[in-house]
């Protein structure tokens, strides 16, 4: 049976719901361009979300059909993406991760600054910091469509999700940046996220 790669995305409810969902969707669609099997969804326990409350989105990628397409959550993420840097404080953002994972954070801070807030940092092999807010220049998308099974009618990757996905392409082998660029609206932000992401080994 083929390995299923799991990605967990943490965002803030309502204000970043669309951004978190877009990161999950971009990664899934980019992987599909390499003929991978994918799925992307919200954490049902986080719905209905509330303004500012941490919410999770997920993506799975595999070389073969994914049997359990929509579990309640990704139980063993190898990649964790943080849309809002404040989420790293006081939450077990790496829950379920086995040793050797990757943490990607939207932040102006250095990797060492972020690592100070993560007590179980021994689980990650590398940390990636990218200033997605600065790169997207205020283009954060707030959209109330697409939740609870609704159709997301707005564009994909117009805001901070694009540079975050670009950082994911640089730091992991899950997607290629050229495939991710094809599915986003803000292609410049995607490529800047790829180029400007700072990767630091942890263990």
Write down all domains in the chain, each with its CATH number in brackets: 4-201 (3.40.920.10)
User: Three-state secondary structure along the chain?
Assistant: CCCEEEEEEEEECCCCHHHHHHHHHHHHHHHHCCCCEEEEEECHHHCCCCCCCEEEEEEEEECCCCCCCCCCCCCCCCEEEECCHHHHCCCCCCCCCCCCEEEEEECCCCHHHHHCCCCCHHHEEEEEEECHHHHHCCCCCCCCCCCCCCCCCCCCCCCCHHHHHHHHHHHCCCCCHHHHHHHCCCHHHHHHHHHHCEEEECC
Q: What is the pTM of this model?
A: 0.93
pLDDT digits (tens, 9 = 90+) for 47-91: 666 889 999 999 999 999 998 766 778 999 999 999 999 999 989
């Amino acid at each position: 049976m083929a390995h299923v790669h799991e990605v967990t995305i943490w965002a803030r409810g309502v204000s970043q719901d669309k951004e978190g969902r877009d990161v999950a969707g971009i990664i899934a669609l980019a992987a599909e361009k390499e003929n991978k099997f994918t799925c992307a969804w919200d954490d049902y326990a986080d719905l209905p979300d509330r303004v500012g409350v941490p919410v999770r989105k997920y993506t799975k990628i595999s070389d073969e059909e994914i049997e359990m397409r929509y579990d309640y959550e990704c139980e063993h993420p190898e990649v964790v993406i943080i849309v809002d840097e404040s989420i790293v404080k006081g939450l077990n953002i790496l829950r379920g991760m086995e040793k050797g994972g990757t943490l990607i954070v939207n932040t102006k801070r250095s990797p060492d600054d972020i690592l100070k807030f993560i007590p179980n940092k021994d689980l990650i092999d590398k940390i990636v910091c990218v200033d997605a807010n600065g790169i997207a220049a205020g283009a954060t998308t707030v959209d109330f469509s697409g939740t609870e099974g609704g159709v997301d009618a707005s564009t994909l990757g117009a805001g901070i999700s694009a540079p975050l996905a670009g950082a994911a392409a640089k730091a992991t082998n899950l997607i290629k940046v050229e495939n991710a660029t094809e599915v986003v609206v803000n292609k410049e932000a995607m490529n800047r996220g790829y180029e400007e992401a700072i990767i630091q080994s942890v263990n």
